[in-house]
Amino acid sequence: MARPGTGPDFIEALARGLDVIRAFQPGQPAMSLAAVAKATGLTRPTARRILLTLKQMGYVRAVDPLEQPGDVRAVDRKAVDRKYELTPRVLELGMSYVLSRNLWEVARPHMERLVDRTHESSSIAQLDGSDIVYVARVAVPKIVALAVTIGTRFPAMQTSLGKVLLAALPPEEAERVLAEPSRSGIPPRVAFSSEERAARLREVRARGWALTDEELAAGIRSVAAPLRDGEGRVIASLNVNTHAAETPVEVLTGEYLPLLLQTAGAISADWAACQAAPQVTVPQPAAPQSLAMP
């Protein structure tokens, strides 16, 4: 059955495959066939065929040691309880997006200098629905409440990165975005009413940066600033993340924030310069006449 709101060009099989990949959430690194079927709303035979297809393509692997490599047709009772997990190849899907935009190449040297000066981790995120998604990161090894990697999702309103991105939207659009359910699987430590959200985003718009103090999880404190393109549009946000027990708010806003704003400005300037650079297509040389087909 086609999904509501889809047109004649919608490929249902592709959508189901992506649903299966997205079913593997934080805290669920390995899932059984039954769990995948339940999470996606697919029948078990359909979920099984998708898992085995993804397995052949290298995006999923079976964690049952009894399964023989290459045996994609065998069906037995033990297969019902067999579990599957994503492989690192899935990262290629997200990195294709990041690398296609060249944002990482532009931002990396600036982020590394920021981390050298603050001795704290720094990340870049973009908005996806009511969540932020991490697209670049330079990390300092520290014990924190929530692990962060490229592709990690968090509820936007409870993060400094998310507040910056939400504040860049018109107020009505920000509320519409926040009405969407989070797909992060992370329950925020602090919830906001619509009035509180509006007031906090107005504050971010007025001062140009955002602070989060243990709103997502205990111990997480960060400050973020916008990254802009050559037209002044906010394309992403950059933060400095600290442990609340180690770094007082006064240090975060008094010492790290000026460095963060300077870094965000430098990345934005470089990004604008990259956008303005002419794109030249080098023509392919013609085949030698002697090799031309008659």
The predicted model scores a pTM of: 0.68
Confidence at 120, pLDDT banded by 50, 70, 90: very high
* CA neighbours closer than 13 Å in the CB half-sphere of residue 286: 5
State whether residue 52 is helix, strand or coil: helix
Query: Given this model, what pLDDT does residue 68 score?
Result: 46
pLDDT at 84: 93
Reply yes or no on whether the pLDDT at 181 is more than 60: yes
pLDDT digits over 188-235, tens only?
A: 899 999 999 999 999 999 999 999 999 999 999 999 999 998 899 999
DSSP alpha helix (H) spans, 29-184: 33-40, 44-57, 91-101, 103-118, 160-167, 171-178
